Structures are given as C-alpha cells and as structure tokens.
C-alpha cells in the first residue's frame, strides 16, 4: 500500500475514533513516535517499537476526554513516502479543557508507517 492509501486509511480510522485499530493495522513493528510540544522548552518525547506506541496511545486514552476531533488530510505527494495529517481536538486533560491543534508527519516504508512526528501548533 502506498503512502497516500495508508494516509486515507489513517484518516478514516482517526475520524471514527479507532486509533488502536490504526496502530495495529498500519504501523510497523519498528515504529518510532515523536511528540514535539509547542510553547515549551521540553525535549521531544519519543517512543520506539510497536509496544511503546501502544502504551503511548493507551496512556492518552486514560488521561484525555476527547469531546470532538477534526481530521484534515492526508496531504501526500505522488510517489512520496511521507504524508501529513492535520488534527484539531476539543479535549479535557487533567481537568483543563482546551483546543489542541497539531500536524502529524508520517513516513512509510514497505507499506507500513515507520515514523510519526506530531508537531503541536501554537494557538
């Protein structure tokens, strides 16, 4: 499957709130996930391997109440191994409700996502 088709499937699953299914179906065993948070001097958070990424998503589901999600994309070039997806979420984390905006940059090799980098967008 090429990056555009993988991106379309990821967006479909994200819009349906089926993140765990996306990880199981689309991610490589050697996946690397990077979160770069805007408005902070903290170092990026990095998870390596499919089990680490599953733990990241399980943690997120345990601390966040997601009220709504808008997903935009995928944006992919012809023959490219990279695609981008935009996310806007109305979410409550640790009792504080706010809107989070980020883009995910996904790298594909041999029909699987091998890297995802989330870039938080400043409000």
% the chain with pLDDT above 90: 73
Structure tokens at 102: 């980020």
| pLDDT, tens digit, 9 for 90 and up, residues 52-95 | 999 998 888 889 999 999 999 999 877 789 999 999 999 999 89
What CATH number did the domain enclosing 37 receive?
3.10.450.50
- Rounded Cα distance, 96 and 38, in Å: 17
Average pLDDT over residues 15-24: 92
Q: What is the pLDDT of residue 37?
A: 74
Three-state SS at 107: strand
% the chain with pLDDT above 70: 96
> What is the tally of structural domains in the chain?
1
Contacts of 107 (CB under 8 A, 6+ apart): 81, 82, 113, 114, 115, 116
- Rounded Cα distance, 114 and 30, in Å: 6
- Residue 57's domain comprises 3-120
pLDDT higher than 90, residue 121: no
């Amino acid at each position: 499957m090429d990056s555009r088709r993988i991106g379309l499937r990821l967006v479909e699953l994200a819009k349906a709130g089926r993140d765990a299914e996306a990880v199981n179906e689309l991610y490589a065993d050697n996946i690397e996930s990077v979160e770069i948070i805007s408005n902070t001097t903290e170092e990026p958070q990095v998870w390596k391997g499919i089990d680490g990424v599953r733990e990241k998503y399980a943690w997120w589901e345990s601390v966040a109440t997601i009220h709504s999600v808008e997903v935009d994309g995928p944006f992919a070039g012809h023959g490219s191994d990279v695609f981008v997806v935009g996310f806007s979420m109305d979410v409550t984390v640790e009792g504080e409700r706010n809107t989070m905006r980020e883009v995910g940059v996904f790298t594909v090799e041999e029909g699987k996502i091998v890297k995802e980098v989330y870039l938080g967008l400043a409000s």
